[in-house]
Amino acid sequence: MQTANPFLEISQLSVAFPRAPLPVLNGVELRIGEGEYISVIGHSGCGKSTLLNVIAGLLPATLGGVMLEGREVTEPGPDRAVVFQNHSLLPWLTAYENIRLAVDQTLSKAMTRAERHDWTLHNLSLVRMDHAKDKRPNEISGGMKQRVGIARALAMKPKVLLLDEPFGALDALTRAHLQDEVMRIHAALGTTIVMITHDVDEAVLLSDRIVMMTNGPNATIGEILEVDLERPRDRLKMAHDVRFIEYRASVLEFLHARHAQPAL
């Protein structure tokens, strides 16, 4: 799904660190359309999180750069919200207060106090956490914390949602439930999503395209796989879908045959 006028464009992106002999990323080119769900997959050390951090504006590019709607990304902004593997919730605030803080910081000029209250509740409801709005992080499960983290990110009304292995620390059942929630939210909102993952099944289930990275350092995009599966996707049906199995095999072949994990 390439587009002549990309919503998000990564152009000749290279990132090098001062004491490293080789760049982490070298010459990354990617064009993403509005509303696409993109997964980036590869072995440890291939620069996946580095790429996400540049898109987020948390890390500068050494060469090349990132454009969002024709504007260069040079710093963090509310148009790009990040959800990390660690939920990063403030422990002394309730679920409602964690989200409300982000809403107040980004939308105070656009919404009245009452509208911000309603918007906070709306986003809690979106991730099915309205019943736990008054609970603090230590009173809820890991999966529930991630739901609040996703709600906080969505409440900022971002143009791009950046997910850095958001389900990596969760048990398999909770992970599956949250994947389904993210699919539902993506279908409802049409938010552009870029997700870092190590999980092949997750990438195939959720994505429109899978960006497969070569090994680092000097990593770049090795191959991009278009996932032509109808939405909404049912994980039980997908397990027996011939195309799902073929896509899964293609990613595994790239990762484990042509770009095997380098020896440590």
Give the pLDDT confidence of 179-211 residue by residue, as tens digits. Answer: 999 999 999 999 999 999 999 999 999 999 999
| CATH code of the domain in which 221 resides | 3.40.50.300
Query: Same structural domain for residues 59 and 178?
Result: yes
- Judge if 213 and 93 occupy the same domain: no
Show the DSSP H helices in 156-217 as ranges. Answer: 172-189, 200-206
- The H-or-E segment that residue 121 falls in is helix 113-126
What is the per-residue pLDDT across 34-82, written as a single tens digit (0 to 9) for each?
999 999 999 998 999 999 999 999 999 999 999 999 999 999 999 999 9
Report in angstroms the alpha-carbon separations of 54 from 51, 168, 258: 5, 21, 27
Residue 256 is given by DSSP the state I
SS3 60: coil
Surface-to-core class of residue 262, CB atoms within 10 Å of its CB (0-12 exposed, 13-18 middle, 19+ buried): exposed
Residues 133 and 193 in one domain: no
pLDDT in tens, 113-134: 999 999 999 999 999 999 999 9
> Which of 122, 126, 147, 127 has the alpha carbon at shortest distance from 137?
147
Are 233 and 246 spatial neighbours (Cβ–Cβ below 8 Å)? no
* 63 domain-assigned: yes
- Same domain for 167 and 246, yes or no, is yes
- Residue 73 and residue 96 share a domain: no
Please tell me whether residues 133 and 62 are part of one structural domain: no
Alpha carbon distance 6, 4 (integer Å): 6
Tokens of 6: 């990309």
Q: Which of 110, 135, 157 is the last residue of a domain?
A: 157
Number of domains in the chain: 2
AA identity, residue 92: W
Residue 246 lies in a domain: yes
Of 60-69, 238-247, 249-258, the range with the lowest mean pLDDT is 249-258
Let me know if residue 84 belongs to a domain.
Answer: no
- Taking every pair of Cα atoms in the chain, the longest distance, rounded to a whole number of angstroms, is 56
Residues 48 and 165 in one domain: yes
Say yes or no: 262 and 170 in one domain.
yes
Q: How far apart are CA 55 and CA 12, in angstroms?
A: 13
My answer on whether 105 and 200 are in the same domain is no
Same domain, 21 and 58: yes
Q: 251 and 207: one domain?
A: yes
Query: Which structural domain, as residue segments, surrounds residue 210?
Result: 1-79+158-264
Does one domain contain both 165 and 56?
yes
